[in-house]
Structure 1
């Protein structure tokens, strides 16, 4: 009797989860000159292959000179029906009227000819806290008061989300490719900013929805992110102890809140913040001179739960500053460049050269080391 031996064909199953995509781009005119979004939209569109059309967005600084002293709240109302969206809007406006003086509000202009998936009702309010907001003496600062109210809205009012809340700046985001989101909000036609950041999304762990698109923002801090924060659970637990409510269903949210906690509330130097978020490994710390070794050991002990584990590259924006940072071993790409007074940060050099073919300097920042662009003066920003 013969036997036919059939050897099973062993095939290597390809890893079908894409975790190295997403595109980030930033441009700052350090002289404070405000420019349109056309260049940034062109640059981020050049990295279209890094996304899949499930999220895109922009942050812009210096766009509201007529309301520069007011907080610009951008709201999205995401109910499944027009009635649900209006009900959320009415509840939100009742909330605002009891806590803020609203000097102007309007629907954020958009182009309905640009077709994006399931667009929410998107509105903006220019506000200041009502007189007496600090009578209790419990809230340390106006910024903390604003942040507390944003957390209350995002966690407590169904279908209402504050996705931008700084002064003289704003975020615009949605489900689509970033250039489509830019066209939807007519960014190249309606706004001029001294600093633009942009993001093209390839969701890995969470569903695609408007609130989950980047940038993530709190007050004037914005974050666009490429990568995956595997320490999200620990980071979230730590931030919740300081009153931050993570409600937007993606890991990038913790980076924005960590930046707010460390830079605004605790006023730590940027170099220290970078060593908290992306510290050297212990073997490297052990080989450092004693003074530096003690500092980094202390930071790891005190701020261990804020270590952002996993591969990442981020651009953090604040008023007057744009920061690029990668994980400590640089598992996600980032390139920096300058031309005249313009400073660029990008996932790919090609996107920078597309809008600025001749550059004065191009370099690749080291892992865990921040690259920083700053305005030379804030006076031009306020004109």
Structure 2
């Protein structure tokens, strides 16, 4: 055993910085899946976590509340709950509220008070006129603002999920135990993501587990964002405040800013987070070179430095992305209408033994699965050979080389 330790940990490091396990599955035809398979997939990657955090996001789980924001909130004290509920009654119409169902689970202890509220902004509060006649807040803007107020101003209260017809479930423990604790085997969703945490630079607490969420955007992440300070400062200029004490939070907020508020397509957002190297940009043909240069100049503070692999999801879409030099693993798989993303191939084959194909996601190239459209971006070099008709439709003949083409991105913008 000592000899094995010398090979696997030659410098006697007390942490494993390459760990964390991520998993995602989407039925692009909209079919619902039980959370049981996702729990099993995360259990397969048990050793990627150390029991200090796990969580899941599920989409399509509240069909009885399709137009209400589902606020999942954790409270450290009853006083925090009472203060939060007074604020919610002032800001929102509360259609329903209840404790989030849980069950006694070995390995899960010291859980906070967990509650969910289905709310709609009061019209006069959600769209207040501005003194200078500027464009008023949208309901989404208002919800984001109220979430930030709760998370930064009410001691002991944390909103950890705030989208419509979706929810985040997370806490301290192994991922499979968290899934059992939250009774996720009883939920049905068309899109699931999961995370097993191995914290390296931050403390383990219930709010710091993944996924991180704002509105219906969720992020699960394996890696370390060394640009966190720069990213955080940029986001604070736009009213996003990081209160969960972990670098992954900036990815969720940055995605919401770029897609919802700035109107960028997710394929362009991927090129902001994992931008091509300057030496590659210099070799691009015009006007691609000008477009990438502009992205780096305008959004340079949202470049995600450091090793990472992420699965980003929102209603109708799942995206996988790795850092541009492939320092963290991410594998994709597909069968029929199903798209899988995972840190390893093993959990994909566990839950889908007859998966039709698997492939390694290329650094800086997003995998995008879209509801009713299938796989619209495969996340690989465009010279790769594929048999999938939808991929041929997007990238032309098999084996054709198309490097850094942004025509589709500019059209989308």
TM-score normalized with structure 2 length = 0.85
Residues 1:270 and 2:253 are matched in the alignment: no
Q: Post-superposition shift, 1:364?
A: 1.2
Match of 1:235 among 231, 237, 242: 231
Match status 1:125 vs 2:121:
no
Q: What is the SS of the residue equivalent to 1:126?
A: strand
Q: Give the distance between the partners of 1:131 and 1:298, measured in 2 at CA.
A: 38
1:342 maps to which of 334, 338, 341: 338
Deviation at 1:92, TM superposition (A): 0.1
Instruction: Provide the residue aligned with 2:3 in structure 1.
Output: none
| Aligned-residue RMSD, C-alpha | 1.3
Alpha-carbon distance, 1:115 to partner: 4.1
Matched residue of 1:163: which SS? strand
Q: Which residue number in structure 2 is paired with residue 303 of structure 1?
A: 299
Q: Distance in 2 between matches of 1:30 and 1:13?
A: 45
Structure 1, unaligned runs of 5 or more: 1-11, 79-84, 378-383
In the alignment, structure 1 residue 58 sits paired with structure 2 residue 51: no
Name the CA distance, whole Å, in 2 between partners of 1:207 and 1:55.
Answer: 10
CA–CA separation in structure 2 for the residues paired with 1:167 and 1:114: 31
Conserved? CA contact 2:128–2:137, under 8 Å: no
Aligned residues: 360
- Contact 2:59–2:191, Cα closer than 8 Å, also in 1: yes
Displacement of 1:330: 1.2
Out of 156, 180, 185, the residue aligned to residue 183 of structure 1 is: 180
- The CA distance in 2 between the partners of 1:111 and 1:15, in whole Å, is 36
Structure 1 residues 139-178: aligned runs within 5 Å = 139-178=136-175
Helix, strand or coil: the match of 1:67?
Answer: coil
CA distance in 2, matches of 1:361, 1:305: 37
For the residue of structure 1 that corresponds to 2:160, the secondary structure is strand
TM-score (norm 1): 0.92
Contact conserved, 1:139 with 1:145, CA < 8 A, in 2?
no
Deviations 1:352-376 (A, max 9, x none): 0001111222111210110011110
1:114 and 1:183 in contact (8 A); partners too: no
* Among 129, 132, 135, the residue aligned to 1:136: 129
Query: CA separation in 2, counterparts of 1:37 and 1:188?
Result: 5
- Partners in 1 of 2:361 and 2:47 — Cα distance? 23
8 Å contact kept, 1:167–1:219: yes
How far has the Cα of 1:118 moved from its partner? 1.4
In the TM superposition, residue 288 of structure 1 has moved relative to its aligned partner by 1.1
- The answer for the alignment partner of 1:374 in structure 2 is 370
Q: What is the CA distance between 1:35 and its match in structure 2?
A: 1.3
Q: 2:324 aligns with which of 309, 324, 328?
A: 328
- Higher RCO (CA < 8 A, seq sep 6+): 1
Q: Cα 1:119–1:239, aligned 2, differ >3 Å: closer, same or farther?
A: same
Residue 292 of structure 1 and its aligned partner are, at CA, apart by 1.1
Is the Cα contact below 8 Å between 1:40 and 1:198 reproduced in 2?
yes
CA contact (8 A) 2:60 2:191 kept: yes
Contact 1:108 1:123 in 2 (8 A): yes
Q: Which moved more, 1:131-140 or 1:346-355?
A: 131-140
Rounded Cα–Cα distance in structure 2 between residues aligned with 1:278 and 1:245: 22
Task: Report the equivalent of 1:203.
Answer: 199
> Match for 1:108 among 89, 100, 104?
100
Residue 177 of structure 1, CA deviation = 0.3
Q: Is the 8 A contact 1:59 1:169 kept in 2?
A: yes
Larger mean Cα displacement after TM superposition, 356-365 or 34-43: 356-365
2:361 to 357, 360, 365: 365
Separation in structure 1 between the aligned mates of residue 96 and residue 329 of structure 2, nearest angstrom = 41
**Shift in Å at residue 197 of structure 1?**
0.2
Alpha carbons 2:105, 2:177 under 8 Å: kept = no
Q: Paired residue for 1:313? A: 309
Q: CA deviation at 1:19?
A: 1.0
Say whether the 8 Å CA contact 2:307–2:328 is kept in structure 1.
yes
